[in-house]
Amino acid sequence: MKVYFIGAGPGDVELMTVKGNRRLHACSYVMYAGSLINPEILSSLPEATRICDTSKLNLEEQVAIYKEARDADRNVARLQSGDLSVYGTIAEQMRALNKIGIQYEVIPGVSSMAASAATLKSELTLPGISQTVILSRIGGRTQVPPDEDLEKLASHKCTLCLFLSIHKIKEVVKKLSIHYPPETPVIVVYKASWEDEKIIKGNIETIAGKVDEEGIRLTALILVGEVFNSEDFYDSRLYSKEYSHLFRKKNVRI
Ligand code: SAH
């Protein structure tokens, strides 16, 4: 018996990995975390699959389901939105499984960050503009360590990708404006890759008003940085004519 933690992707069912999808269909128990998982993913499961929405269950209740599956010798697929490596809440589950000796495997997924960049046809790192992306959030029920306060992170003026923060957009831009110039682009992507996806473009000064007008309070990423404004970057060294490297030696015929 094994638990498979599977990154279900940002929403579009075609953005779940082949491996994740195959494992999902081979499990008798499927646990998923509420509204961020596209119900279409679940609609193709065999009739007999036991499907549990974990959004109303505490950790102990979820562990009870893992134990039940172990006793029945059935595999469990645990779906989480996007990729599991950020804001996935799988660490506490893995710790609980370690304690009771249940084996597990982690299958990555497409993060909403990647899906948002794709929908914007943007690269988050541009030579000469920003070579760093900070993934973070504003503090909420889960506190952010004081050294990671947005005001401090903003001092780097690199590309920022903020999860779980859209409901506090006013507070976000207030903190960012201490370091980013007011005209710095800020883009909000609501439900990236879903049919009702929305893109709201503004800057540090204007974005909060625009988000308010649209009434967006959930399921959106806030992306900040000059990379969304600039054609003014230089070409990467990788494809430069003067530069050859292991895979593109001069005089090698392709
Ligand atoms: N592990 C997930 C993030 C889970 S935290 C990932 O890799 O994407 C939940 C937050 O992720 C939401 O509050 C929102 O900020 C963001 N999010 C998840 N799905 C999204 C989507 N399709 N479009 C935009 N933001 C999304």
Select from 219, 222, 224 the residue to mutate for testing ligand 1; criterion: most ligand atoms less than 8 Å from CB: 219
Which element (helix H / strand E) includes 188?
strand 185-190
pLDDT of residue 250: 58
pLDDT of residue 166: 98
236 pLDDT tier (thresholds 50, 70, 90): confident
Across the range 24-40, mean pLDDT stands at 93
Task: Assess whether pLDDT exceeds 80 at residue 231.
Answer: no
Residue-wise pLDDT for 135-170, tens only, equals 999 998 889 999 999 999 999 999 999 999 999 999
pLDDT of residue 17: 98
Task: Answer for the pair 206, 173: CB distance below 8 angstroms, yes or no.
Answer: no
pLDDT of residue 244: 66
Atom of ligand 1 nearest to the CA of 84: 1
- pTM value is 0.93
Task: Assess whether pLDDT exceeds 70 at residue 253.
Answer: no
* Ligand 1 center from residue 235 Cα (angstroms): 31
Atom of ligand 1 nearest to the CA of 163: 15
What residues are paired with 246 via a beta bridge? none
User: In the β-sheet with 159-163, what is the strand arrangement from edge to edge?
Assistant: 133-137, 159-163, 220-224, 185-190, 198-203
Across the range 9-21, mean pLDDT stands at 97
Phi, psi of 165, rounded to the nearest 5 degrees: -130, -5
- Cβ–ligand 1 distance for 189 under 6 Å, the answer yes
- Cβ–ligand 1 distance for 219 under 6 Å, the answer yes
* Ligand 1 center from residue 135 Cα (angstroms): 12
pLDDT of residue 108: 98
- Cβ–ligand 1 distance for 191 under 6 Å, the answer yes
Nearest protein Cα to ligand 1, atom 5: 87
Select from 5, 12, 189, 221 the residue to mutate for testing ligand 1; criterion: most ligand atoms less than 8 Å from CB: 221
Tell me, what DSSP letter sits at residue 204?
T
- Cβ–ligand 1 distance for 144 under 6 Å, the answer no
pLDDT of residue 248: 65
Tell me, what DSSP letter sits at residue 181?
-
Atom of ligand 1 nearest to the CA of 191: 23
Residue-wise pLDDT for 56-112, tens only, equals 999 999 999 999 999 999 999 999 999 999 998 899 999 999 999 999 999 999 999
Nearest protein Cα to ligand 1, atom 2: 82
Kindly list the distances between the CA atom of residue 145 and the CA atoms of 47, 64, 88, 153, in Å, as whole numbers in the listed order. 45, 32, 18, 12
Nearest protein Cα to ligand 1, atom 25: 220
pLDDT of residue 34: 79
Task: Assess whether pLDDT exceeds 60 at residue 246.
Answer: yes
Residue-wise pLDDT for 188-202, tens only, equals 999 999 999 999 999
pLDDT > 90: percent of the chain: 85
pLDDT of residue 239: 72
pLDDT of residue 169: 98
